[in-house]
Chain A
Amino acid sequence: MTELIFKLKKAKKRRKNRAITAMVIMTLIILILIGLSLYMGNTIYSPKIVWRVLSGENIKGATYAIKSIRLPRLFAGIFAGIAFGMGGFVFQTMLRNHLASPDIIGITSGSGAVAVICILIFKVSGFSASAFSVIGGLSITVLIFILASWKGFSNERMILIGIGMQAIMRAIINFVIQKASTYDVPAALRWLSGSLNGVAMSSIPIMSLTIALGAIVILVFEDQLKIIELGDESAVALGVKITRVRALLSVVSVIMLAFAIAVAGPIASVAFLSGPISSKITGKSQANAGAAALVGIILILASDLTGQFALGSRFPVGVVTGLLGTPYLLYLLITMNRKNKI
């Protein structure tokens, strides 16, 4: 008996070690990507110059390129990665379905539609655009939940309703783009597919603060989220107030997503991919929001570098991530079919 417990403990420790190693490696990868993002660009500055600029020295050309272009871009990428990674993970875990990520069930397109209206029609951007897209995203989420639980909640129904919602939101976005002047359109299209181009330093503080706070809340409540994943009944038995935790986590994730969207646009597929990839890497029992955030950051930074430098012409990050997401969605469909889960 004691031997069995000993073995189980050992196995648990091994799994935990694996997860920790994985997260350390991911952090290293992120550091490399950060270095590359600062190093590469129209002009390649040597690491020494990058370092001198970062430590406050003023070098003609380099200071501008790094401080006003590359740094905001990098920050936006990192925090968007956290927001999409964690937001996706929370929804997927809470609804116990990998397909139920915010970008498939229409939440991101809700925020996106509001943000487009703010930016193109009312010409407001920055904090107020973010605030409005938070409201847009939240209302769409609430609406989808209400509609899906009309005659007893079902995940499948929610996904279908979300897809319908997405169609309506896309129509609204198209409408706004059509009304916009030709001059604004390329920028709007780029933003819509998710882009880190031209992110201004002024939009970074609020975005990073909100997303960081949200991340802390999610990490604090993560244990309860995991209990909810076990099933509503077990969660109640273990003393988790499910409705309250669910509402809190949804609101926090939607706020994080909306702030990321207002700055970087609805970067396709990151929310959808981060959770499943991170749980493959850390092992299913050790899946956690932190790992999902790390994967989100890696996906965005790596795709942004790819979009900028690897494809000949410069593409926004969302086009690259959109391409990444599709094979995975198809793979998921086929494996879920095999397990007869849908």
Chain B
Amino acid sequence: MKNKRVVVGFVISTISLFLCVIFSLAIGARYVPIADVISAIKDKSIETFDAIVVRERIPRTIFSLMTGAALGLAGVLMQSITRNPIADPSILGVNSGAAFFVVCGIAFFNISTAYEYIVLAMLGAAVTAVFVYGIGSVGRGGATPIKLALAGTAAATALSSLTSIIMMPKDRVMDSFRFWQIGSVSGANYEKIIVFIPFLLAGIVFSILLSSHLNILALGDDKATGLGIKPVQIRLFSAIAGVFLCGAATALAGPIGFVGLMVPHMMRLLFTNDMRVLVPMSALGGAIYLTFSDIIGRILGGIGELEVGIVTAILGGPIFIIIAMKAKVKSL
């Protein structure tokens, strides 16, 4: 029964993924008919204006698929190791941490290459994640959603004040930061994709290897230990994989919120709690969701486009509120 559902879900997701890719290539400031999209990809020799437009959109589409997959995976890992329904890079203040480090980099070290962005964003993400989680889990009851959310808000306020202090005196920094800060896939190019690939692959391999251990960990630390699993080690590896994924995605695309929050929840609702299914499906779902949001942004924004980070927040914020409404008061 469950297997059938998973197979059907997988088929439907793959079809939606395919549709998203096609529409992502077709829709934009200039609409290209779908037949032309397909022929432009098939036949490299076509040199019409439409074909060139479609080829220009290819890196953007690939990049949004990759970013979405990375964020979806990071979300499922974080929610699973913190056993917390609202763990998401944007709620935990991790994005502001990455942003702070990147702004320091732009302002003090004149960074410009993708690798430098990645390294700094990843450092920032890791430091903030540890900090927020540490503060959120002080006291009895450990890290409850409300404590984590408040610790995340506190950290985000502090970090954005610090970011402003560094950024405001320098107009140059402010201008390059303003676009990075919103989170977008419109600046995609093949260079970024190539930089991204190793991080994404490593993250995927890690999380698939870890998924069955995470299943056991969900039973509780005591039982997991009894079954021969080392909870601390598994958490550490999963956290590293999560920071790799969301750090790289944030560095290249800017902070994009709520993908990591929403996608795992939807997948859990649609399929099962089994991490072996949830991990690959969250990657797939993240890719679909982000590409879909990007398409929506292009439709709604007209020629100027709406950056994808804005769309995901506006779509994802209500979902977060619904999760908060459904949560039992005690578990908050």
Contacts and interface: CB of A to CB of B under 8 A. Distances in A.
Specify the main secondary structure of chain B where it touches its partner. helix
A223 to B, nearest CB: 31
Contact of B324 (A164, A193, A329): A164
Contacts of A168: 313-314, 317-318
A46 interface: no
Nearest to A313: B169
A157 B135 contact: no
Interface stretch (A1-9, A22-30, A33-41, A320-328): A320-328
Contacts of B146: 156, 159-160, 342
Interface residues of A, number: 53
Given A163-B153, A167-B313, A337-B138, A185 B178 contact: yes
A157 B332 CA distance: 8
Given A159-B146, A160-B149, A177-B178, A333 B162 contact: no
- Greatest chain A CB density within 10 A among B182, B257, B313, B318 is at B313
B158 A326 contact: yes
A151 B317 CA distance: 20
B164 A171 contact: no
Contacts, number: 156
A163 B332 CA distance: 14
B234 interface: no
A171 B160 contact: no
Nearest to A158: B324
A190 B136 CA distance: 31
A193 B163 CA distance: 11
A150 interface: yes
Contacts of B182: 174, 178
B151 interface: yes
A171 B309 contact: yes
B119 interface: no
Contacts of A340: 139-141
Contacts of B169: 313
A156 B141 CA distance: 15
B304 interface: yes
A55 B138 CA distance: 57
Contacts of A159: 146, 149-150
B324 A269 contact: no
A226 interface: no
A171 B309 CA distance: 8
B227 interface: no
A154 interface: yes
B325 A323 contact: no
A182 B176 CA distance: 11
A337 B147 contact: yes
A164, A175, A316, A319 pick with most chain B CB within 10 angstroms: A164
B164 A164 contact: no
B104 interface: no
Given A163-B149, A334-B135, A151 B325 contact: yes
A323 B100 CA distance: 14
